[in-house]
Amino acid sequence: MRPGGEYTYAGLSASLYRGAFERPWLPLSMWKAFFQRSLIIGVRAVPTVFLMAFCVGSVLAMVLVEQLQELSMEETVPRLIWIILNQQLAPMLAAVVFIGRSVSGSAAELANMKIGEEIKALETMGVDVSRYLLLPVLGAFLVMLPVMEIYTVGVGLLGAHGVC
């Protein structure tokens, strides 16, 4: 591996972006891999996100109601909860779950493939490894993270509604 080669961060990123825009159409197997990755990355993280967002929303509502009652500003609690969840907490909670659960799992899977020399076998067969292995994962992350953030806001508001 030479400096600036394909396996450095910049080389791998350039190869991935070039492969994504070189042929914009994807074969059926790539779409199948994309939907499998979306299921693993996003849908299986729903219980964790649900529990975290519900607890954070209910605790946030309890604290805000208690603090704002002293100032006679209870009517601003729903607006504050919306702003706090939508701008700060939901993106952070969704990102923490994605990083802790999904990114580490994908990295471990790729590391196991590297150790088992599956990546080398794919290269020997002439398969573009970055396009075959990384593009479905990157696409699933790009699609599922905003979806999970919207879900987190909704569940957090549900938890806050249960308290108020």
Q: What is the DSSP string of 37-59?
A: HHHHHTGGGHHHHHHHHHHHHHH
Write phi, then psi, for 156 (nearest 5 degrees).
-65, -40
Count the domains in the chain: 1
**Is residue 50 assigned to a domain?**
yes
Domain, as residue range, for 128: 28-163
The average pLDDT across 66-82 equals 90
**Is residue 21 assigned to a domain?**
no
Read off the pLDDT of residues 5-57 as tens digits, 9 standing for 90 and up.
556 767 767 766 676 666 656 677 778 888 998 998 888 889 999 999 999 99
**Is residue 94 assigned to a domain?**
yes
**Torsion, CA 96, CA 97, CA 99, CA 101, rounded to 10:** 150
**Is residue 18 assigned to a domain?**
no
**Is residue 6 assigned to a domain?**
no
| pTM beyond 0.85, yes or no | no
Residues sharing a CB contact under 8 Å with residue 2, sequence separation 6 or more, in sequence order: none
> Which pLDDT does position 1 carry in this prediction?
46
